[in-house]
Amino acid sequence: MASGKMLRQLIKSGVKGDSDAFRAASEAVIKEERHKNHHLLANDLERLLYGDQSKLVNKGKNLSSISSSPLNKDNGLPLLEERAVVREDKDLILSDTAQSALDEILIEHTRGDVLRSYGLQPAQKLLFCGPPGCGKTLAAEVIAHSLSMPLVLVRLDSVISSFLGETASNLRKVFDYISAQPVVVLFDEFDALTKDRGDSADHGELKRSVNAVLQMMDSYRGESILIATTNYESLLDKAVWRRFDEVVNFEMPNLEQIKRLLTLKLSGVRRNFEADDNKISSLFKGMSHADIERVLRRSIKEMILANREFLEKKHLDMALAREYHRNS
């Protein structure tokens, strides 16, 4: 919470009707709360103080900060890319274990001041493991949305270089950037940066990049949340694992999760079947979340282009057949 001095100044200026002093005191409180990583509270206070203008102010800050993101000096390409944050926690359907882990991470950050008063820090370095299409990237977006923080993606095509020492130099630029301002930073396909150094097939520059990542993660003291994702956790260097505060495993959806996903994605779509019907959900058994969403989008297109009023099982069957053919 804000200091007693700030709160006394705030109330004093309010009682006197001094709008300039009240605004200055309010801005000082907001600044302190944001410094404590209380982004949700700071954003709420800004909305109360400025009204709708605060959204424009925050949006402008995000865009201007990302536009000045670090560049690869050889080709001038940005090392980071801002991602739109549009999906919320209701869009994320996970196992109870994974959902519980994410909930705990969010609670740690929303109540970070309580942890810090006991000399503890919220989990900031997270590793998301699991098959492709099972919600790892979406979970990063949900965390950014829940904490009202920008989401930036590390562009590995720009970071990784074949030139001696350039990969480590690019990584240093990335860590300097995220240390200077709070963002949710996503290292997608993290195994490309941190493959086991015992792998004789990798050249020396990639092995040096592993050492650089380990050192930078050890020394990182910023307020950003680092999220690394991998589909191949067995490829990660053994020393990488202990650098993370939390490891969350994402799994292929079970039948119950498939039912929830169908209900979510088909809400508002007129259909002649129940989304939670066992016969319908069983059609998608063994598929990832992303695969299921793709099939549903394709089946809805089939319905629309056939000028049908209702989505029918035959539309699902046609879309599924194309999906199986695609993966064969």
In tens, the pLDDT along 274-298 reads 999 999 999 999 999 999 999 999 9
Spell out where 78-234 has E strands. 80-83, 125-129, 151-154, 184-187, 225-230
Segment holding 247, helix H or strand E: strand 246-249
Contact indicator for 82, 120 with CB cutoff of 8 Å: no
Amino acid 202: pLDDT? 58
- Report the C-alpha dihedral over residues 17, 23, 24, 26, rounded to 10 degrees: 110
pLDDT band, residue 4 (cuts 50/70/90): low
- Span 211-216, mean pLDDT? 91
Band of pLDDT at residue 45, cut at 50, 70 and 90: confident
- Cα 292 to chain centroid distance, Å, stands at 21
- Between CA 76 and CA 303 the distance in angstroms is 46
- The whole-model pTM stands at 0.77
| Mean pLDDT value of segment 180-197 | 89
Average pLDDT over residues 188-198: 84
> Is a pLDDT exceeding 60 seen at residue 224?
yes
Average pLDDT over residues 247-269: 96
pLDDT of 50: 65
**Sorting pLDDT into bands at 50, 70 and 90, what band is 203?**
low
**How large is the average pLDDT for residues 231-250?**
94
CA pair distance 244, 23, nearest whole angstrom = 40
* pLDDT single digits (tens) 61-116: 454 445 477 888 887 889 999 998 988 889 999 999 999 999 999 999 999 999 99
Percent of the chain with pLDDT over 70: 85
Mean pLDDT over 230-241 rounds to 92
Q: In what order do the strands lie in the sheet with 246-249?
A: 80-83, 151-154, 184-187, 225-230, 125-129, 246-249
Q: Going from the N-terminus, what domains does the chain have, and what CATH number goes with each?
A: 2-50 (no CATH), 80-249 (3.40.50.300), 255-327 (1.10.8.60)
Question: How many other CB atoms sit within 10 Å of the CB of residue 67?
Answer: 9
The pLDDT-based confidence of 199 (bands split at 50, 70, 90) is low
- Whether the CB-CB separation of 121 and 225 falls below 8 Å is answered with no
Q: What is the pLDDT of residue 308?
A: 94
